[in-house]
Chain A
Amino acid sequence: MSDLEGMSQNIRESQLPGESDGSFNMSAESVFPLNTSEHEPEFSSNKSLSGRQVAWRRFKSHRLAMISLIFLVLLVIVVSFANLIAPYGYQVQNLHQLLKGPSLAHWMGTDNLGRDEFSRLLYAGRISLLVGLTVSLSSGIIGTLVGAIAGYYGRWIDNLLMRVTDLFLTVPLLVVLIIGSTLLSGGVLGIIIILSLFFWMYAARIVRGVFMSLKEQEFVESARSIGSSHLRIIVLQILPNAFGPILVCMTLGVAQAILTESSLSFLGFGIQPPTPSWGNMLNDAQDYFQSAPWLLLAPGIAILLTVLAVNFVGDGLRDALDPMQTPHRLKSQVPEAMAEIEGGYDEATA
């Protein structure tokens, strides 16, 4: 999908409509909850669930997200132990078995060099997942830094940083990645670096939104009035509120990164052979898609399922952290359940 570099994927699910000119001003509160539990008025009979517990409960109720999470965990385990699970090495060529279809010996067939597709898939999975995770993490950190500074200090710093962010956002992604990878000569590390350089903007915008909406609130003013340094306020007071949105953003970023890497490698500019990645496996499959369609299906479906799973998890996270939505479970049960409580409610409070 990252073919449409910088295109609507810019939006990301985690953003909400806001003003999309330079002075981006999204009120994160309307999207994500604030961790203001220490500032809420206390209710007489307390023991309300902590934010995290509520969030976990809601996440669990999102079935697709749970399934996806399990799938991903299994995937990570399998891929990490690729060298134990894979029947062959990813470079082992069997020249007698070129372009053979799936069989007992080769679960997903062989490619034009006689290499076992299944094993390649597993090893490639390592690379693709590694890239996805690291890119998301590092770009998340960069983005948080930028967003926090911009959102907190405001004015010209904010203006400048936002202009830079916008600049990075509007360059066509694949183009700069291609150019960048030519500069850095695509080792895995190089790809990670170049990708991270162009993924931080989303986190930056979100974090900036959180900071802008929170920095005027009373608890910040109280902290300032007792002499907390700016750093303390940023890190201890405001930043924790941004964890939710950042987490969602980073999760979705993993999906994006995997897709982008696969596109890049497909074009021949990403991870270079012989290192396998799902992207360059797609490239290899291109020439033989008529005669050996399994070569296409294996990496393609792998990417699809992984990205889909990550997206579902991200969506589940977002639902779990947003206080203004009714959980799906409750909603569907409402009419019947409502009828039940007539008369039964009073006993509960006695």
Chain B
Amino acid sequence: MTKPLLEVQDLEVTFATDEGFVRAVDGVSFTVMPEQTLGVVGESGSGKSVTFLAIMGLLDRGNVRVSGRVLFKGTDLLALSEKEWRAYRAERIGMIFQDSLTGLNPVQRVGNQIAEVEIAHRSGTVDASRPWVRHKKAKGNAVELLRSVGVADPESRARQWPHQFSGGMRQRAMIAMAMSLGPELLIADEPTTALDVTVQAQILELIDDLKRRCGSAVVLITHDLGVVAEHCHDVMVMYAGKSVESGESDEIFARLGHPYTRALLRSMGRLDQPKPRRLETIGGQPPSLARLPTGCAFHPRCPFAMPICRVEPPPLQGTVQGHHFTCHVAGGVAKESDPSVSSVTISMPSSSGDVIESSAETILMKARGLTKYFSVRQGGLKKSATLRAVDGIDLDVRRGRNLGTRGRVGLREIFIGSSAHATPRTDGRIARIQWCGHSRERSSGVKARTSRDTNGLSGSLRIPKSSKDGRLNYCGTLKSSQCASQA
């Protein structure tokens, strides 16, 4: 049996906040094997990011307390001094973050930022040549790194600034930075959440590719089970600061386990299955870490909750070797019966807003020829370009059905009624629209004046012909924190 690369034992992270001391990570233990990928899944606030920030020693020592053991090839990272820790960062463990725009220094050229890693770590080494020679070499290596992560024309790109890169390219640059010294472990904290769906797949492919080439292990932190299914050998599911289920991903998706995992799986739409009547969501909201429920943290939202769940913390159960979960329900709860994992893959939409569902029912709203053009200012004296975000699409919304749209922004503006070009024709009384907008990628050199979508806004809106349209009713605004990717 190979020795684990990273072994975390009973990690606890506590923050001092206004509302008292909050335990963001509560006794989490897991291992990462060499050259394997571990997926860490959880909602916002589950503690998944904090866990790895603590492992890297990136938490502010002032108001945070970390305890437990983090053994990287036998050495306890938490016992290291700051200086020793620095030797581990980037050289042996690399990390990339979610937001690549804020994650890169805006006033430093991208190439220099990548080269900086090598310069900082290798300055005291055998290579006793002059500093500028080393710097030159490092910059050359940076260009090559950019090439290897798939950035076209790396020589000129390396001399550009982060804001001139597109979102996907920036993330590639971040990956290049993290991998430049060939670390044995790469921690990727939601690397694709802020990216367009098309780019997501490319980035994940890139990570897989680099993993193979460098022989690194990868930790992929995400809230997207589809990603986990595609790319991860092992999975750990976190909830409210605890690890509630862990094991090999095949096992997790197939067999019995924690109700939370089951709920996550069920809330994903499946293209290969007949469409269910409604999408399942997990009722309620993640608990505030300052006021956790008693007993099992998940019990308020758990469809299988029993009286004991409210009282006692759930015990650890292990079914097949390596597959553990904490639950009172003996033997766990059944997951989706279909074991074929690959059908959970998300489909890629085409360029502008696609309409993905309809059937024969009473049509509430018919929209024909919806267009939304944005006038985009280009720098300097160039005339405005026209961005055709939505170019003449037709939509039917039927009573009682949900219409999902995927794609770039543009449709959203139409439904808010702020569009200058679109005139949807409306018939009927109540329109209920649910959609998921995704944030638009910024292509270099062009600034769009669009507003930023958050993932998964759903709302019920009126579509007023004029603002005093009495025929349509307002149904209130809902907000869901996650959009389950679906059809």
Contacts and interface: CB of A to CB of B under 8 A. Distances in A.
Contact of B14 (A43, A330, A341): A341
Contacts of B418: 221, 224
A111 B467 CA distance: 70
Contact of A222 (B65, B67, B477): B477
A318 interface: no
Interface string A318-350: 000001001100110011011001100100011
11 contacts: A43-B286, A218-B457, A222-B461, A225-B416, A226-B462, A227-B468, A327-B18, A330-B16, A334-B16, A337-B16, A338-B16
Interface string A30-43: 00000000010111
Contacts of A331: 16, 62-63
Q: Which 5 A-B residue pairs are closest in the complex by CB-CB distance?
A: A43-B288, A227-B467, A338-B65, A45-B291, A216-B451
- In the complex, which of the residues A42, A44, A224, A342 has the most CB atoms of chain B within 10 Å of its own CB atom? A44
Contact of A58 (B18, B286, B464): B18
A47 B14 CA distance: 21
Nearest to A221: B416
Given A39-B479, A326-B16, A216 B452 contact: yes
Contact of A326 (B19, B62, B287, B474): B62
Nearest to B295: A350
A48 interface: yes
Interface residues of B, number: 40
Interface of A: 39, 41-49, 54, 57-58, 216, 218-219, 221-222, 224-227, 323, 326-327, 330-331, 334-335, 337-338, 341-342, 345, 349-350
Interface string B57-82: 00000110101000000000000000
- In the complex, which of the residues A46, A227, A335 has the most CB atoms of chain B within 10 Å of its own CB atom? A227
B16 A226 contact: no
B65 A345 contact: no
B21 A341 contact: yes
Interface of B: 14, 16-19, 21, 23, 62-63, 65, 67, 284-288, 290-294, 300-301, 416-418, 451-452, 454, 457, 459, 461-462, 464, 467-468, 474, 477, 479, 481
B462 A326 contact: no
Contacts of B16: 326, 330-331, 334, 337-338
Nearest to B313: A346
Contacts of A219: 477
Contacts of B287: 43-45
Nearest to A335: B65
B464 A41 contact: no
A330 B20 CA distance: 9
B217 to A, nearest CB: 31
Contacts of A49: 18-19
A156 to B, nearest CB: 14
Nearest to A341: B21
A5 B265 CA distance: 64
B21 A345 contact: yes
